[in-house]
Amino acid sequence: MMTTAQIISVVIFVVVMTLIVSEKIHRTTAALCGAVALILFGILDFDTGVEHIDFNTLGVLVGMMLFVGVVKGSGIFEYLAIKSAKLVRGNPWLIMLSFTLITAVLSALLDNVTTILLIGPVTYTVCKLLLDINPIPFFVTEILASNIGGTATLIGDPPNIMIGSAADLSFFDFIIYDAPAVVIIMAAVCVLFYFMYGRKLGVSDDKREAVMHLVEADAIHDKSLFRKSVVMIIIVAAAFVTHGFFHIEPSVIALAAAGIMLVISGADMEKTIREVEWTTIGFFAGLFVVVGGMAETGVIQMMAEGMMDLTGGDLLLSLIILVWASAIISSILDNIPLVATLIPIITTMGASGVDIAPLWWAISLGACLGGCGTLIGASANVVMASISERHGFPLSFMEYTKVGFPIMIFCTAIACVYLVVRFVVLA
């Protein structure tokens, strides 16, 4: 039997989700109103609500938005857009494919939010300024690629960092166990993208010819800032890859990078601060509190324990239930509190003699791939939606979910088969 507090927290979550899906009011307004409602109903006090906000995620977002806001003034995104378009001779399908693969690889090496903040402006520039085509299909494929690619490594997605810490797994453990599944899934998804979008993409010969006559060097507005931006992007990428070894939080790297760029570029702070998507920051803050309400009242704990009760200790059943439940729940809830709840449960199972090594990979693949399912399934999704909206191409919750959810099911099915073959059939 659920308590009154649990019922209220679930009702508030459902109402917030309904408002987000209906788009009757802005998603940020819905999330913040939900957070306030939890406090007014006494489910959370203010301090407890704030404790559920992941300031590391918000720090990465603010830092990288400021960083991108400075470096884009050099013309680097226009330069990369022209260069990439010319390399594939203005072929929009090849541009989509190359950007998708680049997004997946960068998301594995950096993190998917940072990757989206870097690749989004380049994508828009290619689509609208060079080829004059709708950028939304490109944005959708890049959202999916960022979630899939981020699954491959320890640092690609926050759940993997949490799992690696709890299970004492190294960067190379994730390469050995998660990366093969990601390669298979990306290959299959790229084939899907071709049939979904590739055959429909086309531009006139005149437009492609015009692209080939562009000179990428002419896009550089500030050569000094361009050189500084290239150096800083390399340094930031290296810092994100190695941050775990030096025990430095990603938010510290992002905010430090922003501060350094502001200093060495001499950029106008008031102008740069407007580049931050404050509505996105507010949305995440509110959503963290709304999900925190269910975590604080024990609803997520109940969901996780119920999921584990179904397995009865059977490895095959445990793998299947964990990967599917993690994926589906992560598509509508933040995967961070879900994984935080599952970790002690799996650890307890291990203490009772169950071989839990395969289960870590089940929740890793499930929680990370589940982010593909809806527009609020992962931080990168919301960030890309904000970039798209800022450029005049709003990406609605349902428009994305119609594509994202079936592909999430497809990816999870492949991951499930991979886990069963690797840990049951070949064991």
| CB within 8 Å of 224: residues ≥ 6 apart | none
Q: Which amino acid is at 400?
A: Y
Query: Could you report how far apart the first and last alpha carbons of the chain are, in Å?
Result: 40
**Residue 261 to residue 129: CA distance in whole angstroms:** 26
pTM of the predicted model as reported, rounded to 2 decimal places: 0.80
pLDDT reported for residue 423: 92
Q: For residue 183, what is the enclosing H or E element?
A: helix 179-193
| CB within 8 Å of 183: residues ≥ 6 apart | 152
DSSP 195: I
The CA distances from residue 401 to 22, 30, 159, 172, 184, in Å, are 12, 18, 22, 33, 23
The CA distances from residue 383 to 116, 118, 140, 154, 160, in Å, are 7, 11, 12, 21, 20
> Cα Rg for the chain, rounded, in angstroms?
22
**Residue 130 to residue 94: CA distance in whole angstroms:** 15
pLDDT reported for residue 144: 96
pLDDT reported for residue 363: 93
One DSSP character per residue, 367-386 reads HHHGGGSSTTSSHHHHHHHH
**Residue 165 to residue 169: CA distance in whole angstroms:** 7
The CA distances from residue 67 to 55, 59, 258, 397, in Å, are 18, 12, 4, 28
Tokens found for residue 311: 């397995």
pLDDT reported for residue 29: 94
**Residue 80 to residue 153: CA distance in whole angstroms:** 26
pLDDT reported for residue 339: 80
Q: Are 75 and 221 in contact (CB under 8 A)?
A: yes
Buried b / exposed e across 67-97, counting CB within 10 Å, b at 16+?
bbbbbbbbbbbbbbbbebbbebebbbbbbbb
pLDDT reported for residue 260: 95
pLDDT reported for residue 308: 67
Mean pLDDT by 10 residues, the chain (427 residues): 90 89 86 95 92 84 87 84 84 91 86 83 84 91 95 83 81 90 97 92 80 83 91 87 78 91 90 86 87 85 72 80 91 76 76 80 94 88 90 91 96 96 88
